[in-house]
Amino acid sequence: MTEKEKMLAGELYDSMEKSLARERTHAKTLCEELNRTPVAEGKKRKEIIRKLLGKTGEFVHIESNVWFDYGYNTEVGENFYCNHECVFLDCAKITFGDNVFIAPQCGFYTAGHPIDAKTRNAGLEFAKTITVGNDVWIGGGVKILPGVTIGDNCVIGAGSVVVKDIPANSVAAGNPARVLRKI
């Protein structure tokens, strides 16, 4: 298997492998272009977003600054809004449903590192998918870790660190995030 195939399969892979590094550079170049394109140039911003992301709905709005590792591994549905200073470490797929609203300074981290120092120091990492359902609101400063699924119609409170799945129709908050109540 190639390092990319390992990455996409959730296995340990060498993230510094040359072709992966080139793909990240390409995504960062598009992010830089998006981040310096004025909001008034909405059509140009939309074109850059469509080049960067794997799939988008018709209405997608992403505020600057935003950063993606690969871009093509992130798919967003219809009526997607992402506020300022968000980071998407999309080594594995990140999928957002329709009507998802993301507050500022959120992070979606599919990448993880081995606990074993020898393996970690060898430059190996792994990636696990993140899935966010429809009609989800993610509060400011939320961090979502590898392998998490957030169900439909959820609200994730500001400052939360989501380390495990959140069932549909839930309000969750905290570090680690836990379900506070059903909607």
Cis amide prior to 176 (ω within 30 degrees)? yes
Give the per-residue SS3 of the chain. Answer: CCHHHHHHCCCCEECCCHHHHHHHHHHHHHHHHHHHCCCCCHHHHHHHHHHHCCECCCCEEECCCEEECCCCCEECCCCEEECCCEEEECCCCEEECCCEEECCCCEEECEECCCCHHHHHCCEEEECCEEECCCEEECCCCEECCCCEECCCCEECCCCEECCCECCCEEEEECCEEEEEEC
* Active site (annotated) includes residue 61: no
Q: At what angle do helices 42-52 and 18-36 cross, to 10 degrees?
A: 170
- Residues serving a catalytic function are 113
